[in-house]
Amino acid sequence: MELQSFVAIPNVAYLGAAILFILSLGGLSNQETARRGNSYGLVGMVIAIGATILLLVVPDAYGTTRVISSDNWTLLIATALVGGVIGSVMAKRVAMTAMPQLVALLHSFVGLAAVLVGISTWLTADLAGYGSDLVHLLEIWFGVAIGAITFTGSIVAWAKLRGWLFGKRVPGAPLLLPGRHGLNAIAALACIGMAVPYVSDTVSQAETAVELEKQLQAAEGVLERIENESAGIRLMQDEINAAVAEVERIEAALQVASHPSTDSRAFLFLMMLTGLTCLLGVHLVIAIGGADMPVVVSLLNSYSGWAAAAAGFMLANDLLLVTGALVGSSGAILSYIMCKAMNRSIWNVVFGGFGTDGGNPTGEGAEIEGEVTVTDIEEVAELARNAKSIMIVPGYGMAVARAQHLVNEFSGMLRKRGCNVRYAIHPVAGRLPGHMNVLLAEAGVPYDIVLEMDEINDDCPETDLVLIIGANDVVNPGAETDESSPIYGMPVIQVWKAETTIVLKRSLGAGYAGVGNPLFFKENNKMLLGDAKDSMSQLTALLT
Amino acid sequence: MRIGIPKEVLNGERRVAATPDTVKKMIKMGFEVSVEAGAGGLANYPDQMFIDAGASITSDADSLWSSSDLICKINPPQARSDGSHEADSLSDRGTLISLLFPEQNPELVEHLQSGSKTAIALDKIPRITRAQKMDVLSSMANIAGYRAVLEAAHLYGGFFGGQITAAGKTRPAQVLVIGAGVAGLAAIGTARGLGAEVRAFDVRPACKEQVESMGARFLMLDVPMDESQESSGGYANIMSDEFLKAELECFADQAKEVDIIITTALIPGRKAPELILQDMIDSMKPGSVIIDLAAEQGGNCTATVPGEVVVSSGVHVVGYTDLTSRLPTHASQFFGTNIVNLLADMGGAGDFKVDFEDEVVRKSTVVRQGTLTWPPPPDPEKPPVTSQGKGDSEVVADLPQPKKNSGHGHGASNEPMAIGPRNVIALTLAVVLALIGFTAESAPVPHFVQQVTVFLLACFIGWQVVWSVTPALHTPLMSVTNAISGIIVVGGLLGVAGTEVNTAAVLGAVAILVASINIAGGFLVTQRMLQMFRKEGN
């Protein structure tokens, strides 16, 4: 069988892989099908990589076969293996609380890969044949820029998440440079500005290459003519030598001209672009407060998709294009959901420094008056024992206190007694969209009793007891009533409509957003002060 | 026609089958009423009141019986203290309306088959909606349930309702009601009214709603309850062993927590099931009270002695069989009204007949004109199954309902695979997209335009598919998109695949490295996360 008949196979395989990727995202529509969805994704990936390898070894549509040296093969396989092993170890070791960091790190890798692929594509471009394609050059330019922003932005996000998790209570405070919007604008303009010499240099080099190719053809024509004329006559040897030298000279020049060089001015600009967009990425994310990491990570998820799509454009690879678009829109949706849940404008997050525009970033909200009722474990146990319907509102504080296993034990015990215990999850309860669901699943909480805010909010008035564990702002009634509150307008879980609420809290301090919570002063609210883990273990002990 | 209301002979019986109020109604219907002297005394209806209502008073029981066309009484006829039998006193053409329990009293049934006597068993009135107003078992069960709580409150050494006073606070009494029939529901309502916290159990899951509407918590067992459907007549069936075991375990757990247990579990035509065993009694707090409403049928509690109160491990076990009689005034009122309703159904005085076309009459007639007519022929088709309604009044005709989803509605359905409408759209688009990709080679569109088309369509598909992802899986969504973003490895592969290891190849190799981390890490961590998600009970 001729190898050429294989040419169509990669395309078909890419199509299959694209469909499998779509199914893998579609499988996540519910927990029953999710695992199968993940397997679809894996199969799609294997098919895509296999097809690409096939693409490398079979002749292309013009019948030319790539020459790949054994050194290159070694490099390819070795890096793939090393990367695979590192990835597996990371996936195995990562704690579920550290998922945001892992996700941020993986985003940065996509960004980095996009940058590297962009530069590598530019360096390997065949200018004599293809290089004057302006669109292609700009695709590379854009791909490198978005890749670099994703790369450094994600690295900063990762560092912020890590720093916070080390418990030093450095909640990734926003670093706000003076006139940062101006700086962003200047950087963006510079990126556009630098594209001009980069494009013009590359295009002129490509024109040179095309010109040289014409000259080469002419010189080769000359050489051929001389050789024909001088057949068997030694007299014309000098002329022949001169013609051969001319051909060799032009060939050497073409060799140089047809491939962009690392010494060229265009390369310098490409590097400057990389550097500048790396700085831009740092600047955009560092200006965003630690509380808004769910939005930032979602946004970077989207960027990583666009970076992959840009790589698809520059490589004219439809699978990369489709995958990038899928991931990009997925991240965009998540960002949108997160922004809505936090009542933020997406543009504030995109351009950085969100929550600091207009008004007082550390606004206190209205003064709250009233008494805080402090309760004890016995009373809470008593209330839990007598409640028919209990809602548990977990926040990230629960995970920090590592109380989720005890909370699960507690809820399981009560459910066994016939009590309708359910969990209410605010979209921003964790440090990632859906993070709290994963943490609860890890602790063994069945997913069918874990409900989203929108699903459970209407049930609040019929709930006897609400336990708020490590959450604060997501149950703040001020978000609905107090127009002066910085979180005014943010959708919250309306726990205060329940008969009794218990807030498990270390102390009577303000929440993450630095906002006082009027819930604490409501008559039907009681505070259970102390470490959530200790409280929960005493509570479960009392209920057994 | 003359109705005779005799004084009840049964020892300890305080009720009477008619009250001045119902006597008035009988007379209005055209009956003549004669009441035995002192018949209503214990129910606080002195003879004078009957006279005022229009009845005549007869002092001799035997002559009352023999001179009446209709005898209405409560308990089945029995031997009097002087040795004569009530049934013998019934005139040859007379009709008796009372409780008869023909299964338990075959001798009595035989006794009544003489002359052309007719006997109607009030306990055999079918439990259909129309007959509810004549159903003495329901009206008496309601009273028994009410009284049971009062007996419990009387013996219990504490408050029912929680108290918050200057002298301290108490928590509400915890009451467990087993069996959510009429008596059970009445008990729940009464206990709730006194301020207790009530939980209830019934083998019929359909009762859950009724129990909850009365303000009690419905206990569910772990084993599936759908086998435990309702038998005809609104009573529970006999359960499987597995179910019974789970049930007993549940009661054992409950016994440790509750202060009062009221059992009302009856199986028609059988001995009452034993549900509260000795070890459960031992585990209860001293001072707790058990009221066994099934005492007459053998009792739901091991320690029950019918008609008595025994103390076992400091727990009062009450086996009174005369709970309704302990509330004689209103019990008589209800009983009498049931009888009046039955008389009206049978045509009143002017048109009185034992009409076998009438389902109620047919089912409750044990003897007609001296011949045995019991048991009645089976129904040609099953009449609507009824279950007891709230409290004492209405009957809700309902079949066992599917268990209501009590708030597990999570969007997570049990559909085999998520090929929802959205995915269908997405797949269709994918095909369109592929066709564009294939034809583009030859089409006269510039390459870039074709790429943009593919890109925009893919964005649209992504948008459609991702909105259908449940929010609970957003973190796995991110990690799986991390993994598939690793497809950028393709770019790295193209960079490395050259003739020499130059800058481009090295850059490509680093891209492969990081992209492989994404692929391996992304898929594995997603798998790890998804394996954690489990449904309740799995």
Per-residue pLDDT of B182-227, as tens digits, reads 999 999 999 999 999 999 998 888 788 888 888 898 888 876 655 4
Q: Does A127 touch chain B (CB under 8 A)?
A: no
> Least CA distance to B469: which residue of chain A?
A29
Residues 6+ apart with CB under 8 A from A464: A383, A386, A387, A388, A389, A390, A498, A499, A500
> Least CA distance to B254: which residue of chain A?
A417
In angstroms, what CA-CA distances link A114 with A79, A418, B312, B477, B514?
Answer: 16, 54, 81, 21, 10
> Least CA distance to A120: which residue of chain B?
B504
Task: Test B437 with A92 for CB contact under 8 angstroms.
Answer: no
Residues of chain A contacting residue B406, judged by C-beta atoms under 8 Å apart: 420
Residues of chain B contacting residue A161, judged by C-beta atoms under 8 Å apart: none
Task: Test A67 with B481 for CB contact under 8 angstroms.
Answer: no
User: How is residue B166 annotated by DSSP?
Assistant: T
Task: Test A312 with B515 for CB contact under 8 angstroms.
Answer: no
Contact B523, A41 (CB under 8 A): yes
Distance from CA of A28 to the nearest CA of B (A): 5
Helices and strands per DSSP (H, E), number in chain B: 17, 19
Task: Test B427 with A309 for CB contact under 8 angstroms.
Answer: no
Residues of chain B contacting residue A107, judged by C-beta atoms under 8 Å apart: 482
Higher pLDDT, B130 or A310: A310
Task: Test B508 with A448 for CB contact under 8 angstroms.
Answer: no
- The span from the CA of A163 to the CA of A98, in Å, is 11
Active-site choice (B34, B98, B132, B297): B132
The DSSP-derived string for A155-166 is HHHHHHHHHIII
Report pLDDT for B239.
64
Interface of A with B in 400-439 (CB under 8 A): 415, 417-420, 422, 425, 427, 430, 432-435, 437-438
User: Under DSSP, is residue B366 helix (H, G, I), strand (E, B) or coil?
Assistant: strand
Q: Classify residue B378 as exposed, middle or buried by CB count within 10 Å of its CB (0-12, 13-18, 19+).
A: exposed
Q: Which residues of B503-531 are buried (b: 16+ CB within 10 A; e: fewer)?
A: ebbbbbbbbbbbbbbbbbbbbbbbbbbbe
pLDDT tens per residue, range B280-309: 999 999 999 999 999 988 899 999 999 899
Residues of chain B contacting residue A79, judged by C-beta atoms under 8 Å apart: 492, 496, 509-510, 512-513, 516
Distance from CA of B187 to the nearest CA of A (A): 19
Task: Test B418 with A67 for CB contact under 8 angstroms.
Answer: no
Task: Test A79 with B411 for CB contact under 8 angstroms.
Answer: no
> Least CA distance to B201: which residue of chain A?
A418
Cα angle: B75, vertex B80, B81; to 5 degrees:
130
Active site residue B135: yes
> Least CA distance to A436: which residue of chain B?
B472
User: Which amino acid is residue B476, in one-letter code?
Assistant: P
Q: What pLDDT band is residue B416 in, cutting at 50, 70 and 90?
A: very low
Q: Pick from A322, A392, A449, A500 the residue to mutate for testing the B interface (most B CBs within 10 Å).
A: A322
Task: Test B535 with A320 for CB contact under 8 angstroms.
Answer: no
Hey, how many other C-beta atoms are within 10 angstroms of the C-beta on A288?
A: 28
Higher pLDDT, B411 or A384: A384
- The span from the CA of A202 to the CA of B113, in Å, is 119
Residues of chain B contacting residue A42, judged by C-beta atoms under 8 Å apart: 483, 523
Q: What pLDDT band is residue B136 in, cutting at 50, 70 and 90?
A: very high
Distance from CA of A9 to the nearest CA of B (A): 12
ipTM: 0.87
What is chain A's length? Answer: 544
User: Under DSSP, is residue A424 helix (H, G, I), strand (E, B) or coil?
Assistant: strand
The DSSP-derived string for B13-64 is ----S--HHHHHHHHHTT-EEEEETTTTGGGT--HHHHHHHT-EEES-HHHH
Q: Does A28 touch chain B (CB under 8 A)?
A: yes
Contact A482, A365 (CB under 8 A): yes
pLDDT tens per residue, range B153-179: 999 999 998 887 778 788 899 999 999
Task: Test B497 with A76 for CB contact under 8 angstroms.
Answer: yes
Q: Does A37 touch chain B (CB under 8 A)?
A: yes
Distance from CA of A451 to the nearest CA of B (A): 6
Distance from CA of B351 to the nearest CA of A (A): 55
Distance from CA of B447 to the nearest CA of A (A): 8
Q: Is the pLDDT of residue B339 over 50?
A: yes
Report pLDDT for A61.
62
Report pLDDT for A509.
60
- The span from the CA of B51 to the CA of B193, in Å, is 38
Active site residue B146: no
Residues of chain A contacting residue B458, judged by C-beta atoms under 8 Å apart: 18, 321-322, 324-326
Active-site choice (A473, A482, A531, A534): A473
Distance from CA of A366 to the nearest CA of B (A): 33
> Least CA distance to B420: which residue of chain A?
A26
Contact B485, A304 (CB under 8 A): yes
Q: What is the mean pLDDT of residues B14-29?
A: 93
pLDDT tens per residue, range B242-264: 788 888 888 999 999 999 999 99
Task: Test B518 with A106 for CB contact under 8 angstroms.
Answer: yes
- The span from the CA of B385 to the CA of B394, in Å, is 14
Residues of chain B contacting residue A124, judged by C-beta atoms under 8 Å apart: 494-495, 498, 504
Q: Pick from B436, B517, B535 the residue to mutate for testing the A interface (most A CBs within 10 Å).
A: B517
Higher pLDDT, B520 or A61: B520
Report pLDDT for A488.
81
Residues 6+ apart with CB under 8 A from B229: B204, B237, B400
Distance from CA of B285 to the nearest CA of A (A): 17
Contact A61, A78 (CB under 8 A): no
Q: Is the pLDDT of residue B314 over 50?
A: yes
Task: Test B533 with A447 for CB contact under 8 angstroms.
Answer: yes
Residues of chain B contacting residue A71, judged by C-beta atoms under 8 Å apart: 500-501
Q: Is the pLDDT of residue B396 over 80?
A: no
Question: Strands B260-263 and B289-292: what pairing?
Answer: parallel
Contact A431, A294 (CB under 8 A): yes
Size of interface A-B (CB pairs under 8 A): 460
Distance from CA of A169 to the nearest CA of B (A): 24
Among B453, B456, B466, smallest CA distance to B423 is for B466
Q: Does A31 touch chain B (CB under 8 A)?
A: yes
Question: Could you say which residues of chain A have pLDDT below 50?
Answer: 1-3, 131, 164-171, 354-364
Q: Does A87 touch chain B (CB under 8 A)?
A: yes
Distance from CA of A229 to the nearest CA of B (A): 38
> Least CA distance to A321: which residue of chain B?
B455
> Least CA distance to A79: which residue of chain B?
B513
Q: Pick from B474, B503, B531 the residue to mutate for testing the A interface (most A CBs within 10 Å).
A: B474
Residues of chain A contacting residue B216, judged by C-beta atoms under 8 Å apart: none
Task: Test A333 with B466 for CB contact under 8 angstroms.
Answer: yes
User: How is residue B188 annotated by DSSP?
Assistant: H
Active-site choice (B45, B146, B156, B235): B235
Instruction: Return the structure tokens found at B68.
Output: 């009446």
Residues of chain A contacting residue B218, judged by C-beta atoms under 8 Å apart: 418
